[in-house]
Amino acid sequence: MGGDGRVHIDEALVRDLIRTQFPCWSHLPVAPVPLDGWDNRTFRLGSDLKMRLPSARSYVPQVEKEYRWLPALAPRLPFPIPAPVALGSPAGPYPFPWSVYRWLDGAPASRDRIGDMPGFARDVARFLLALREIDPAGGPPAGPGNFHRGGALQVYDAETRATIGAMRDRIDVAGAIATWEAALRAAWTGPEVWVHGDVAVGNLLVEGGGLSAVIDFGSSAVGDPACDLVLAWTFLSGESRSAFRNAVGVDAAMWARARGWALWKALLVLAQDSATNPAERPALAIIEDVVGEHALWTR
């Protein structure tokens, strides 16, 4: 295990886990996926399956959550989501449970793969609306395990204000504070609904120029759906952003909270000088857009 608590996961380990726990698949080729995630390592298993293995202990609860809830959510959704096939156990040098899923065709969303951006935005909105309609009874609550997605923005108040101060030479501090405080005032008062928790380009698969599947429900929960709207600033713009907002059915308060979520994440990325997904807009551009939109709407 590395100094950051992450487990080294390679093809040899994956092959050994399959050989010892699911020998019926031991003849299948194993290959890492080209664009892997941070929470989990993903490997393709033959042509029809994939394995996902948590990279650190903090991501382990995602395994049981997806295995429990994805089969219940899938029939109610308009696009495919991952289908669990088997649940693996800790073994040898690998200390965590892991999962096998059906393989879903498609590539991560990017502008060059999408033929109609407003149409894509409306499809994402249709997916989110269907997700919200599913009975949330007994669903997982927001909390530290999913970075409070679906929970109250207030959790990140101190962190956000500190980051705004640290970035004072790079951003409009007064505008960022005003945007953040407006998001906090627009508190969620509605009933809890299902949220995906990480509606990012890497989790939206595209095939034939349009949305084909939605993956990675590790941050899913029941709570406030505003966290699922940050795609409006990280990937969409202009006509596609308007199409998304009109289709997803939000009021001004939810949109303000969504701006807060987008601002929080972009501030952290900027402060850490982290590289964003190449398909997404740069963090500084997201901050300027979010702050500028808040100022325009509050004149």
Residues 36 and 145 in one domain: no
Domain of 85: which CATH number?
Answer: 3.30.200.20
Tokens 């406030």 -> residue: 224
Is 93 domain-assigned? yes
Domain boundary at 81, 102, 123, which?
Answer: 102
Instruction: Express each pLDDT in 88-132 by its tens digit.
Output: 999 999 999 999 999 999 999 999 999 999 999 999 999 999 999
Residue 110 lies in a domain: no
Tell me the percentage of the chain whose pLDDT exceeds 90: 89
User: Given a cut of 60, is residue 86 above it in pLDDT?
Assistant: yes
At residue 273, the pLDDT reads 81
The pair of structure tokens assigned to 246 is 């009109």
Residue 17 falls inside a structural domain:
yes
Our count of domains for the chain comes to 2
pLDDT score of 37 more than 90: no
Mean pLDDT, to the nearest integer, of 194-219?
A: 97
Tell whether 160 and 227 lie within a shared domain: yes
20 and 154: one domain? Answer: no
User: What pLDDT, on a 0 to 100 scale, did the predictor assign at position 7?
Assistant: 87
SS (H, E, C) 108-142: ECCHHHCCCHHHHHHHHHHHHHHHHHCCCCCCCEC
pLDDT of residue 36: 64
Q: What SS3 state is found at 205?
A: strand
Q: Which residue shows structure tokens 């996902």?
A: 52
Mean of pLDDT values over 25-39: 86
Separation between Cα atoms, residue 12 and residue 40, nearest integer Å: 16
Query: What is the rounded distance in angstroms from the CA atom of residue 295 to the CA atom of residue 185?
Result: 16
Single residue among 57, 79, 102 that ends a domain in this structure: 102
What is the reported pTM? 0.94
Same domain, 154 and 241: yes
The answer on 87 and 146 residing in a single domain is no
| In-domain check, residue 44 | yes
Q: Within this chain, do residues 254 and 143 fall inside the same structural domain, yes or no?
A: yes
If asked whether residues 81 and 163 sit together in one domain, one would say no
Q: Mean pLDDT throughout 232-252?
A: 97
Q: Please tell me the predicted confidence (pLDDT) of residue 2.
A: 47
Region 69-92 average pLDDT = 97
Do both 79 and 143 map to the same domain?
no
CB 211 within 8 Å of CB 79: yes
Q: Is the domain of 28 the same as that of 166?
A: no
Instruction: Decide if 208 is inside a domain.
Output: no
**Domain end (from 43, 77, 102):** 102
- Mean pLDDT across 253-281: 91
164 and 262 part of one domain = yes
User: Domain range spanning residue 191?
Assistant: 136-200+219-297
Same domain, yes or no: 94 and 182: no
Residue 4 confidence (pLDDT): 53
Is the residue at 124 inside a domain?
no
Whether 292 is covered by a domain: the verdict is yes
- Asked if the model's pLDDT at residue 299 lies above 90, the reply is no
Encoded tokens for 96: 């965590």
Q: Check pLDDT > 90 for residue 274.
A: no
Instruction: Kindly state whether residue 55 falls inside one of the protein's structural domains.
Output: yes
Overall average pLDDT of the 251-257 stretch: 97
pLDDT band at 6 (very low <50, low <70, confident <90, very high): confident
Q: Mark whether 170 and 280 lie in a shared domain.
A: yes
Residue 64 has pLDDT above 50, yes or no: yes
Average pLDDT, the chain: 94
